[in-house]
Amino acid sequence: MEIIPVKEEEIPVLAKLAAEIWREHYTPLLGPAQVAYMVDKFQSEAAIRRQLEQEHYRYYFFRCEGENAGFTGIQPTDGGQKLYLSKLYVARRFRGRGAARQGLEFLMDLCRREGYRAIWLTVNKHNSGSVAAYERLGMTRVRSQVAGIGGGFVMDDYVYEIEVPAENPAANPAENPAAGPA
């Protein structure tokens, strides 16, 4: 899998992929009205452009076998101390191939290079598959929150966080015997 920055001309492709993933995955959790509202507010071309231009977001595609398998969207927070993992979505046909794990490893490396000390995210409390995946990836639930998002809708989420180690333990066999010889 490749992880590559989304180019400005690819924003329509990103928005289309986001809408497909959201409708497929979140409609059973949130219902069609809230999904439509959230796609328009957070995943539309206009929303993505605003996030990139005004909110310091960066987006990356996950490419697998030449196709866009998913994406991530990140934003610095806490005065540049933490990285908000706003979006980490993988299309259904590419799930189970390690895209989320590879995406998190990519972000951990990015954090080490850029000096962030932690990554945090929110996840719907009823999104049990994603909650389990984040916990398998080593993230820790730090709190619950309910946030109004307009349109009469709320996000009822858990907040997860993972600290960024100073160096990649897998790269140091002395600290990670499972990594084998260098």
pLDDT at 29: 93
127 in Cβ contact with 160 (< 8 Å): no
Q: Is 80 left (phi over 0), alpha (psi -120 to 50) or beta?
A: left
Domain ranges of the chain: 2-171
pLDDT at 179: 37
In angstroms, rounded to a whole number, what is the distance separating the alpha carbons of residues 118 and 162?
Answer: 6
pLDDT at 102: 95
In angstroms, rounded to a whole number, what is the distance separating the alpha carbons of residues 108 and 170?
Answer: 12
pLDDT at 177: 40
In angstroms, rounded to a whole number, what is the distance separating the alpha carbons of residues 157 and 72?
Answer: 18
| Record: fold of 2-171 | Aminopeptidase (3.40.630)
The residue with tokens 């140091």 is 172
pTM of the model: 0.88
Consecutive 10-residue runs of the chain (182 residues): their mean pLDDT? 96 98 94 96 97 97 94 95 96 91 95 97 95 94 97 96 80 42 34
In angstroms, rounded to a whole number, what is the distance separating the alpha carbons of residues 91 and 97?
Answer: 11
